[in-house]
Amino acid sequence: MAVFTKVSLDEARAYLSQYEIGDLLHLEGIEEGVSNTNFKVETTTGLYALTLFEAATPEADLPYFMDYTLHLDRKGYPAPGPALMRSGESIGRINGKSCALIKWLPGRWPRNPDVRHAASAGEYLAKLHTAGADFPQHRDNSMGISVWDHLIERCEPRAAQSARAEAILSDFRAEVAWLKTVWPETLPKGAIHADYFTDNVLMDDDGQVTGVIDYYYACTDFYAYDLAVSFNAWGFTPGGQPLPEMISAFVNAYHKERPLSEAEIAALPLFARGSAVRFTLTRLYDLLNHDPSWVVKPKDPEAFYRRLEYHRGLNSGRRYFKS
């Protein structure tokens, strides 16, 4: 499904000859994923993923993503750092697309995560923040609070056909205006993942993290915002019902590894509301602009709207520590 751009064995062999990675043994398209084309590559020296960047990933930011994952990898964090060509480059071109050859990480993302998975995921999010704290580059959050008004505007033309979409957007105009008045300015920030969902965290059979992939929304923002994005992903059913024991397992494990300040804890309900708005909006945009002939199924915006409703009922960040 997600092999948008074909690559033949000969094309792959010619491309890979720029690296010191031995001879190509096997090339396999990966069906999963919706944004980029991915292949699993086996050579005489090991396993890699070959990613061809499709339109959704901003070309100009590829050096940031590659440098960040290389930085994390060199610090011993399980990120898929890029292999370097003999020229020292990490980004190449194949069949008209920019591409990178990155480390293949072991494990599988958890289809039915429980509290053990949530705790390990929370610990590794904190490790990600610590390992990236001295990464010197900056990238604005292209999906952050400063663009939510613009996302609402982009949804508006097609939302006119749906009373439900109109109602959500009307609610969000007020929500975003209010969030802007209370959004913190001075909390600890640095490089964050910004899309730390279950399908981006690989684990072993004991529910321990073995790899964290897909850094193509990584950016500079508040660490506590990334925590809220992540417990919103891990701490609810796919339909958006809260699982307080999953949220608390995630948050407590994070806090043990990277203790949160009182100000960060106090900001969690706001950040949880903001991140619920962000994912409702991007999902709503994709749904409103979906062509039924596309194979990729749009994700459900309502599941994130329900999260927003849950967080609106909480007024203390301490609440997320308890189930």
Ligand X SMILES: Nc1ncnc2c1ncn2[C@@H]1O[C@H](COP(=O)(O)OP(=O)(O)OP(=O)(O)O)[C@@H](O)[C@H]1O
Ligand Y SMILES: N[C@@H](CCO)C(=O)O
CA distances from 245 to 110, 115, 254, 314, 320 (A): 17, 7, 14, 16, 9
2 binds ligand X (CB under 6 A): yes
38 binds ligand X (CB under 6 A): yes
Across the chain, the runs of DSSP E, i.e. the strands, are 24-29, 37-43, 46-52, 92-94, 97-103, 189-192, 201-203, 209-212, 219-222
122 binds ligand X (CB under 6 A): no
90 binds ligand X (CB under 6 A): no
Residue ranges that bind ligand Y, judged by CB under 6 A: 195, 197, 279, 282-283, 299
19 binds, among ligand Y, ligand X, none (CB under 5 to 8 A by kind): none
Among 171, 199, 245, 286, binds ligand X (CB under 6 A): 199
Half-sphere exposure of 15 toward its Cβ, with a 13 Å CA cutoff? 25
Nearest to ligand X of 179, 296 (CB atom) = 296
Separation between Cα atoms, residue 142 and residue 110, nearest integer Å: 28
> Which residue, chain included where needed, has tokens 């994390």?
72
* Residue 228 token pair: 């809220």
Nearest to ligand Y of 258, 278 (CB atom) = 278
The answer to whether 260 touches 163, Cβ cutoff 8 Å, is: no
For CA atoms 139, 144, 145, 151, give the dihedral sign: positive
Which range in 101-109, 229-237, 244-252, 299-307 contacts ligand X by CB under 6 A?
101-109
35 binds ligand X (CB under 6 A): yes
Binding mask 52-81 for ligand X (x = CB under 6 A): ----------------------------x-
Residues of this chain that bind ligand X (CB under 6 A)? 2, 30, 32-36, 38, 49, 80, 102-105, 109, 199, 211, 213-214
